[in-house]
Amino acid sequence: MRLFSLRSVILCSIVFCGIQWSSFAQQQPEFLEYTNSKWVDSVMQQLSPNERVAQLIMVAAYSNRDSQHKNEILKLVKEQKIGGLIFFQGTAKKQVELMNDYQLVSDVPLLGAIDAEWGLGMRLDNTISFPYQMALGAIEDDTLLYKMGEEVARQVKRTGLHMNFAPVVDVNNNPNNPVINYRSFGENKIKVAEKGIAYMKGMQDQKILTTAKHFPGHGDTDTDSHKALPQINHPFTRLDTLEMYPFKKLIDAGVGGVMVAHLNIPALDSSGVPSTLSKKIISGILKEKLGFKGLIVTDAMNMKGVTTGNQPGVVDKKAIIAGNDLLEFTEDVPKAIAEVRKAINQGIISQAAIDEKCRKVLAVKQWVGLNNYEPLKTANIDKELNNSHAKYLQQKLVEKSLTVLKNDEEMIPLRRLDTLKIASISIGAEKQTEFQKSLGWYTKIDHFQIKNKATASQISALKKKLKNYNVVIAGLHDHSRFPRNVIRYSDQVLKFIAEITQDEHTIFSVFKNPYSLNKINKIEEASVLIEAYQDSELTQQKAAQLIFGGFKADGKLPVSVGKKFKAGDGLETSEKIRFSYTRPEDAGMNADFLQNGIDSLMHQAINAKAIPGGVVLVAKDEKIVFQKAYGLHKYSDTIKVKASDLYDLASVTKVSSALPALMKLHDEGKFSLEDGIDDYLPYFKNSNKAGIPFQQIFAHQARFKPWIAYWQNTLRKNGSYKWNTFKKDSSARFPIKISDNMWLHRNYKKKIYKAIKKSPLEDKAEYKYSGLAFYLLPQIVENISGEDYRTYLNENFYSKLGATTLGYKPTEDFPVTRIVPTENDFAFRHEPIHGSVHDEGAIMMGGVSANAGLFSNANDLAKLMQMYLNMGKYGGERYIEEQTFKEWTKTQFPDNNNRRAIAFDKPNLEYQGLDNNTAKDASTKSFGHTGFTGTMVWMDPAENLLFVFLSNRVLPSRENRRLYTLNTRTQMQQVLYDAIKN
């Protein structure tokens, strides 16, 4: 899929290859070339003098109002012949429908505009909001703002409009500014200009007219011009060199429009009139001094900053006389037209001046393509607006905006998770936040919330609990629609924040306006301080990922915060060390192809009753780009599968338990593939297994029998159990739980060992899959390491990885509701299996074996597999030497037609079509394993690609083999490769 047109890519490369915008001579707005075009001439000839005035008027339209409002707009279009509409609240689909209707009755196509400073989400429901401009001001890479401009333009056009009243290029140098503030790129005039130009160019290169606003600069005021007329008392030199600087640069760069603010600026016009009505400011400065020839637009003409003391219609006339070309939000259209006609008749303004303005408006209409207007379709509009590329861009902008202001001793990204006991606190929240949920993907964390107005007793109780933790991660939340410079915390909560900043290992992520940092005592003394700029689910997710090293931070503070921080402050974190949770585009994969392909195959499998449900996880380049749960726990159930649910991994245990332990022990010189079982278990000396090297055993070429039905050896001929095998109740002699009514003798493991020892060997040394040796591996690991097997795995792998659900006997740590059931066993256990291992041999080993027994959710299993894919490294720590991994994941006996590596499976040596064990495009370097319950993990170093598939295909019975006949897993695996290629 081509994300950008060739023209856009070329423009992007030209614009952003180190060239400074100021190096260009002034570029004239492109639309001006049409002011005397044949189309404009023809329209002008058809327009009456009144209609030419009407072309300068834009009224407010809403797509969330009733038919009365629609009829009012239709009447203005048909009778008054207005030139355009500015749309406000509503939905995209309704907006398109209305615009089609309005265009249908208009003699001259209507110019449609919208305030979409941060995207359509500023006005329309269920559309994308990109970060506010204050957050964008923190981004170092302005090419991202250019791309945002492209995407916003595409979305504005898709909703039937042609003009965006953006970007805001006010220099916000007043923290108390109530109306600009977070809508500004910051306090540095140069950066404001550069970012404004990047955003503007992105939109205008896609034929959306932009308006730089709010001229001559609304950044240094503490009054909202919606409510009153702000006054700015700076001298001309200051205004000329600071406030107006970005406007000059955007004019030089070819901005199409400039919006004039409602401001009283004595240094520019001592009369006291709002700048919108000031001929000195508009005609004298903007047009003559700055040479702007583009479209001059008023700020909304219903705002108190301009309406106070001025009647509707009369105020519009004054704005036209002052030099504006387009009136936004005219409240009384007939009177506005009449007042302008009166001014013409009185000689205050000439008909020629009106005609010049009208031609500008018409030229804009031709430039945006309205001379060839066609109605828009509404089909699929929501899907098209919320497309994957836009979401990826939104995510990238958030990532690049996050600003690390403190990182004492490089505390983040957090390392050595096994040494950390972490608590998270969401301050200003009443329930678990997205921030906390996202933190939980990395390791075990205990979550707490504290309200804005928490009581002293609530705070005291929380402080006692926090004494049990050595790391505290605090999120400061607002949850208001806009990140204003407001603190809603009580004095007691503010005192609590100040106290915990003094703790040595406290991390703060502030999901609030950066100016608010100046209102929080001692916040600058926290060990780690992250400014996230706004409180959205996406910023919360990304802040959590940053803390754990999912990506590197490089944002820079766009404004100064009192004496605490300066504009430009911002630390880079050291490196990416763990998964990021991102979108497929971030790893060069086609999101739609991936989503549709996996969805289709999963729905096929579920509908065919091959599986009741499952979880699919895909990671590429150490980025989880897809993680989704499907279906139900069981066919007759109503419990939906969640991505966090635990599955019985079955034979995936073979590569997830003893194997990494033995690799580590191999690196330490304590284990060798050349040794045999008898070298580590003397019991096997003098057996037919003695001397057979582990290289052959793990490659399934040791002539071992595939399996032994241990449970059947417990039966008498009459079907009852032998006396020293099972009892109905537990006791000291029968402590091993098989089911509620089956308890195994404590020494039965010896019988399993004996059965393995005495089992005959196959006649020929060739590939034959066998799980026998894997029953012995836990004891071998214990004998070599001198540690308990489960403890060894947890301490050396699972806990360090943060894989907190990966382990044996899941009901010891998790409720059974989080565990997906497997088979309804009516042969051995005589009950549905839920919460214990499915494999009969493994349950008879107490649930702890290396052939089966592990449970995990997809996310935690992926951490171990990613460590494998990284050749032994994850989270900034090396677990196993790279050379060991390369050797153990290599095909061992290809000359014997054996594809297997050391325990890992490999692709067939020759592709076998639909019966192949992997996707056709899986490389020869790839490796993985499948499990009897319907699980699969596969890693491909050639593409740095990881695939995890969890299901319970054995429910209700292992005889259900539809997952195999459908070939779901390998077909799905191929989808990943296709998503890379497309």
List the end-to-end C-alpha distance of the chain, in Å, as a whole number: 6
The helix/strand/coil state of 884 is: helix
Give the DSSP H/E element, type plus range, for residue 204: helix 189-204
**Interior/surface letters 48-76, b for 16+ CB within 10 angstroms, e for the rest:** eeebbbbbbbbbbbbbebeeeebeebbeb
Q: How far apart are CA 178 and CA 74, in angstroms?
A: 35
Which residues are CB-contacts of 834 (< 8 A; sequence separation ≥ 6)? 816, 819, 821, 822
Q: How far apart are CA 74 and CA 759, in angstroms?
A: 89
Q: How far apart are CA 109 and CA 804, in angstroms?
A: 61
CA 650 to chain CA centroid, nearest Å? 32
The helix/strand/coil state of 528 is: strand
Instruction: For tokens 């052959």, name the residue.
Output: 696
- Asked if residue 43 lies in contact with residue 294, where contact means CB atoms within 8 angstroms, the answer is no
- Provide the pLDDT for residue 894: 96
One DSSP character per residue, 295-349 reads: EEEESPTTSHHHHTT--TTHHHHHHHHHT-SBEES-S-HHHHHHHHHHHHHTTSS
CA 109 to chain CA centroid, nearest Å? 39
**Residues paired with 471 in a beta bridge:** 422
Domains 28-385 and 402-578 share a fold: no
Q: How far apart are CA 316 and CA 335, in angstroms?
A: 9
Rg (CA), the chain: 34
Q: How far apart are CA 527 and CA 503, in angstroms?
A: 8
Q: How far apart are CA 277 and CA 929, in angstroms?
A: 74
**Interior/surface letters 494-532, b for 16+ CB within 10 angstroms, e for the rest:** bebbeebbeeebbbbbbbbbbbbbbbbeebbbbbbbbbb
Handedness of CA 656, 661, 662, 666 (dihedral sign): positive
Q: Please state whether beta strands 824-825 and 613-620 pair in parallel, antiparallel, or not at all (unpaired).
A: unpaired
pLDDT tens for each residue of 673-728: 999 999 999 999 999 999 999 999 999 999 999 989 888 888 888 888 888 899 99
Reported pTM: 0.94
For the sheet with 580-581, list strands across it: 580-581, 623-631, 613-620, 945-951, 935-940, 927-931
- Asked if residue 859 lies in contact with residue 643, where contact means CB atoms within 8 angstroms, the answer is yes
Give the DSSP H/E element, type plus range, for residue 404: strand 403-407
- Asked if residue 714 lies in contact with residue 721, where contact means CB atoms within 8 angstroms, the answer is yes
Q: How far apart are CA 872 and CA 865, in angstroms?
A: 10
Distances in Å between the alpha carbon of 88 and those of 376, 381, 704?
19, 18, 74
Instruction: List the one residue out of 527, 520, 444 whose CA is nearest residue 488.
Output: 520
HSE on the CB side for 142, CA within 13 Å? 23
**Token representation of residue 390:** 């836009």
**Token representation of residue 33:** 């070339």
**Residues paired with 620 in a beta bridge:** 623, 945
- Provide the pLDDT for residue 9: 37
- Asked if residue 227 lies in contact with residue 304, where contact means CB atoms within 8 angstroms, the answer is yes
- Asked if residue 277 lies in contact with residue 327, where contact means CB atoms within 8 angstroms, the answer is no
CA 971 to chain CA centroid, nearest Å? 27
Distances in Å between the alpha carbon of 622 and those of 178, 357, 547, 591, 947?
42, 56, 16, 17, 12
Give the DSSP H/E element, type plus range, for residue 474: strand 471-476
| Architecture field, domain 595-675+786-981 | 3-Layer(aba) Sandwich (3.40)
**743: amino acid identity, one letter:** W
List of the chain residues with pLDDT < 70? 1-24
Which residues are CB-contacts of 647 (< 8 A; sequence separation ≥ 6)? 615, 819, 820, 855, 856, 857, 858, 933, 935, 950, 951, 952
- Asked if residue 543 lies in contact with residue 550, where contact means CB atoms within 8 angstroms, the answer is no
**Token representation of residue 191:** 């950066």
∠694-700-705 over CA atoms, to 5°?
A: 105
Q: Angle of helix 143-158 relative to helix 388-401, nearest 10 degrees?
A: 140
CA 274 to chain CA centroid, nearest Å? 43
Helix segments in 347-453, DSSP class H: 351-367, 381-385, 388-401, 434-439
HSE on the CB side for 772, CA within 13 Å? 28
**Token representation of residue 679:** 């070298």
Q: What is the CATH number of domain 402-578?
A: 3.40.50.1700
Q: How far apart are CA 504 and CA 414, in angstroms?
A: 14
Instruction: For tokens 């007759």, name the residue.
Output: 636
What does residue 119 show for φ and ψ, rounded to 5 degrees?
105, 175
HEC sequence for 638-649? CCECCCCCEEEC
- Asked if residue 883 lies in contact with residue 899, where contact means CB atoms within 8 angstroms, the answer is no
CA 715 to chain CA centroid, nearest Å? 55
Give the DSSP H/E element, type plus range, for residue 210: strand 209-215
One DSSP character per residue, 559-597 reads: S-BTTTB-TT--BPPS---S-EE--GGGGT--HHHHHHH
Q: How many helices (H) and strands (E) does the chain have?
A: 33, 31
Going through 41-155 in order, the beta strands assigned E by DSSP cover 57-61, 84-87, 90-91, 111-114, 124-125
CATH homologous superfamily of domain 28-385? Glycoside hydrolase, family 3, N-terminal domain (3.20.20.300)
Domain residue ranges in the chain: 28-385, 402-578, 595-675+786-981
Give the DSSP H/E element, type plus range, for residue 791: helix 789-793
- Asked if residue 835 lies in contact with residue 811, where contact means CB atoms within 8 angstroms, the answer is yes
**Token representation of residue 499:** 């106290």
HSE on the CB side for 768, CA within 13 Å? 13
Q: Please state whether beta strands 824-825 and 831-832 pair in parallel, antiparallel, or not at all (unpaired).
A: antiparallel
**Token representation of residue 219:** 């950044």
